[in-house]
Amino acid sequence: MNNKQKDIVIGMFGFGVVGEGLYKILQQTPSLNARIKKSCIKHPGKKRNAPEELFTTDKDVLLNDKEINVIVEVIDDSTAAFEIVSTALKNGKAVVSASKKMVAEHLAELLELQKETGQPFLCEAAACASIPVIRNLEEYYDNDLLHSIRAVVNGSTNFILTKMFDDKISFQDALILAQQLGFAESDPSLDVEGYDAVNKWVILLNHAYGIVETIDHVLFSGIQNIQLSDAMVAKEKGFDIKLVAQAKTLLNGKVAAYVLPEFVRLDDQLAFVKNEFNGVVIESGFADRQFFYGKGAGSLATGSAVMSDVSALRYGYKYEYKKRYHHTPKELTSEFYVRVYISFDDIKKFRKKILNGLKSGMQDWKEAT
């Protein structure tokens, strides 16, 4: 009950919207006892809202600074990010990362690194931004009791689908609007084709079930093929369409997990998740159905998640990976059925092209798993 807070001295990689957001938050929140000592950036020429002394282009200045005890990594390049994170952990620094792609790609290695070094690696911002879903899955819902998780984890695609539904505008127009409002990247394919969602899902499968898998073993698709007409069919029948990431425990104890656009009933909690928001529905043995909802995109929502990790580090928090180490981790299975809705303009084209495509797509996926 004494004041056990550690002072946090941060070396931050990246000073984009999230990085700058965090810099501002920490300046406005002295009670956090956390400051950014140095930020490593790629392009020193750019005008930035912070004193010049803050910046360096030499990563070793941060990684070798003994005073810096936390590395915050908010850069885009997942290869560089992994290098930074590994070195930081090996150099005895705690790490906070927002790079879902990096975490998803290097899950097994990151677990090893944390075991070896004993350093905390936190990444709440890597899934559902402002919703504290990773830590809640870590701390609650013992393995035997978690029935299912269903979630809208990608704000950009959810924004696009909402606009198609509510304003009846085409996929293309909705995408442009999302880009204009900053909810989608200039290259939106990572979001639109489901890569971002499945990266997040792989991370959550680890904290929920102790499953360590790559995206190659998770069935996923994005919303790239959804037309306004599909949205209207859904609406007519009393459904919404959402890009839903889900995982459920089957009767054999294995877990079926996938990310697919789905017809969602209007009284489903996920139908409540509009625009750039995210939502997670957790069904567990005794708590029944729980629903977490919050902003899933935007620099402040991401910044707030990074900050909550920094804040947790003051008290020495680290993921215990209980589901993996203290329980029998669950196994992923690809043996499950999904009911599929198919729309087409021309039955002949459908027969030839789409059925073949579907077949080879399923084949690819089966071979991969």
Which spans of this chain sit near a second copy (rule: CB under 8 A)?
1-5, 21, 25, 28-29, 31-32, 114-115, 118, 130-132, 135-136, 139-140, 142-145, 269, 272, 284-295, 298, 300-301, 303-305, 307-308, 311-312, 315, 320-322, 325-328
**Catalytic member of 200, 254, 295, 323:** 200
Nearest CA among 71, 54, 52 for reference residue 13: 71
Supply 347's token pair.
């039955």
**Closest residue by Cα to residue 33 from 68, 70, 3, 6:** 6
Q: Quick one: tokens of 320?
A: 């215990």
Give the number of other CB atoms < 10 A from CB of residue 104.
Answer: 27
Shortest reach from residue 359's CB to a second copy, in Å: 41
C-beta of 39 vs 143, nearer to a second copy? 143
- The residues with which 122 forms a beta bridge, in sequence order, are 96
Task: Decide whether 78 or 290 has the Cβ nearer to a second copy.
Answer: 290
Q: Tell me how far, at minimum, the Cβ of 327 lies from a second copy, in Å.
A: 5
Nearest to 68 by CA among 29, 124, 13: 13
β-strand partners of 288: 284
Residue 213 or 276: which CB sits closer to a second copy?
A: 276
CA distance 168 to 151: 24
Shortest gap between Cβ of 295 and a second copy (angstroms)? 5
Q: 263 or 292: whose CB is closer to a second copy? A: 292
Give the nearest distance from C-beta 273 to a second copy in angstroms. Answer: 10
- Give catalytic status of residue 200 as yes or no: yes
Distance, in Å, from the CA atom of 179 to the CA atom of 171, rounded to the nearest integer, reads: 12
Q: Mind telling me the catalytic residues?
A: 200
